[in-house]
Amino acid sequence: MTQELVFLFIGYAVIWVLLFGYLVFITGRIRGVRDAVRDVRHELDAQRQETAE
Amino acid sequence: MGLLGTALRRRAVGQPPLFGWRGLIVYAALLVLMSAALYMIFIYAPAERVQGDAHRLLYGHVAVAWLAFLAFGIVAFASVMYLWRRNPRWDSLAVASAEVGVLFTTLTLISGSVWGRHVWGVWWTWDPRLTTTLVLWFIYVAYLALRMYIDNVDTRRRVAAIFGIVGVVDVPIVWYSVEWWRSLHPVQSVTRAGLTAEMVLTLVVTVVAFTVFCFVLIRQRYLLERASDEGEGLRDIVRNRNDVLRQTGAPSAPEAGE
């Protein structure tokens, strides 16, 4: 494998790692936002029940 | 439009993102496609007669460039649909595609720059194709920045939709720049570029691998946008409810983010 080919391989690896990194980052953020939304929804439901009682 | 609208509605906020078995299958398919593309780029495809191994960078470069165009096309289409239907899901699709489009344009500029260093001897030159691509990148970075600075949700969506439609005008300018002006950049046609059958097959596999990746990214980013929208709506409800409870002297619920 020539020096140039090694450089190209690293270039491609960086591209794929960046793409996968972005994908993992986005997926993690979805989980975080959904957890926050669920927590607030539970709080609201609990408070609605208290108010009803 | 009905079918597409239904498909969009199915991507409801309650749907799980790529976790569990379904996520595992998608990630495994991505790894297989990625490995196949890398094998074909580095082992299967022959070196180009003049450029040598530097030519192998173009498979990825061409794939990400096409997908950047596609992503910005989706932005324009979703923006038109938003202005027509006023359904926030179209706006979510537009912002998701814009962000992924900016990512792919960044990769296009980086991979093109590395290739240019090998072949032209410079990292950057103000060639028409390079310049118009850089302008395209700035347009959609501005689109994303604009969204952050408009507080009113309806105004933000409407202005962004208009911007998204106007911005896509640069895509055909980028595409035809090598024909309209004198350019160092290779022509865009596969047949005119003198590729062998192995090179064309490698390009097709690479484009398919990147396309699957692009659609997974857009889908995930869309789900994030929908979840954020739901969070924003819920925050408004909590805020209004707390205002009412404060007036009556009852304890209020914590607002999202507190």
Residues B17, A30: C-beta atoms closer than 8 Å: yes
Indicate whether A49 belongs to any domain.
yes
Number of domains within chain A: 1
Indicate whether A16 belongs to any domain.
no
> How far is residue B172's CA from residue B49's CA, in Å, rounded to a whole number?
30
Percent of chain B with pLDDT over 90: 48
Work out the average pLDDT over B218-225: 92
* Domain ranges (residues) in chain B: 56-183+217-240
Does the pTM of the predicted model rise above 0.90?
no
Work out the average pLDDT over B55-64: 90
Residue B93 is predicted with a pLDDT of: 96
Nearest-neighbour CA in chain B from A4: distance (Å):
7
DSSP bridge pairs for B52: B48
Residue B52 is predicted with a pLDDT of: 79
In the numeric block, which tokens belong to residue B179? 């024909």
Residue A41 is predicted with a pLDDT of: 81
Nearest C-alpha in B relative to A41: B234
Q: Residues B219, B207: contact at Cβ < 8 Å?
A: no
- Residue whose pair of structure tokens reads 């609605």 in the numeric block: A48
User: Which residues, in sequence order, are CB contacts of B251 under 8 Å at separation 6+?
Assistant: B245
Amino acid (1-letter code) at residue B165: I
Write out the residue range of the structural domain in which residue A38 sits.
21-53
Q: How far does CA B218 lie from the centroid of its chain?
A: 7
DSSP bridge pairs for B203: none
Q: How many CB pairs under 8 A join A and B?
A: 93
Residue B240 is predicted with a pLDDT of: 80
Model confidence pLDDT, tens digit, residues A32-44: 888 888 888 887 7
Indicate whether A33 belongs to any domain.
yes
Give the pLDDT band (50/70/90) at residue B10: very low
Indicate whether A9 belongs to any domain.
no
Indicate whether A6 belongs to any domain.
no
What residues of chain B lie within 8 A of the CB of A9, using their CB? 38, 42
Residue B17 is predicted with a pLDDT of: 55
Where does B44-150 have alpha helices with state H? 57-85, 88-119, 128-149
Nearest Cβ partner of B53 from A4, A16, A44?
Answer: A4
Which comes out higher in pLDDT, residue B250 or B151? B151
Indicate whether A30 belongs to any domain.
yes
